[in-house]
Amino acid sequence: MANFATAMVFRAENTTPFRCGQRVTLRKDMLPGEFSDEDFVRALAGSGARALLIGRKALVLLGAPVLTADYDLWLHFDDIEKLNAAFAPLDHEPNRSPEEARRAGRYVLENGEHIDVMVARAKTDAAGRTLDFDSAWQRRQTIPVAPGVAVHLPSVDDLITTKRWASRPRDLIDIQYLEQLRRRSPP
């Protein structure tokens, strides 16, 4: 694989099939202390936190040909402490206390890699459509990414809604991709 940021890949000696049918080589050449997508998904999956991967990393898992350098999560309001505890061994520190994060509706875990964490119970887009976390969690899709490790993403429809929240030019492009994916998927 030419660019590590284009797909979530893991350290191993062989290749493995990804959901989109593409085969990628798994990495084992990272230096100690480096943070990898494998570190991220293993910490996330092991946290026990109800968290949805949103943003472009979610699109990458769905096979979109996009690049991104950061992680975006939508976390259940009550699970901040679980997530923080899971990322502490990776030296990722929150920029806000759990109480401050709940009041602000977001915080960042950072140590070289940037993990944006939204903790709002619900969010409304510019058109007045509201999506609440509990409903999105019930409709989530679970993507296996390694043996025994899976990542939760919003349904395609809910992921489209999360992209509408910011409606930046790249979000509008991402929405077009997701709408095409929705049309191709069986009901």
Mean pLDDT split into 10-residue runs, the chain, 187 residues = 33 33 36 70 95 96 90 97 96 96 96 92 92 98 92 96 93 94 81
pTM reported for the whole predicted model: 0.81
pLDDT at 12: 30
pLDDT at 34: 64
Can you give the residue ranges of every domain in the chain?
39-184
pLDDT at 10: 35
Nearest alpha-carbon partner for 136 in 149, 117, 123, 150: 123
Give whole-number Cα distances, 169 to 59, 164, 172, in Å: 15, 10, 5
Question: Residue 24: enclosing H or E segment and its boundaries?
Answer: strand 23-25
Which one-letter amino acid corresponds to residue 101? A
Tell me which architecture the domain covering 39-184 has in CATH.
2-Layer Sandwich (3.30)
pLDDT at 187: 62
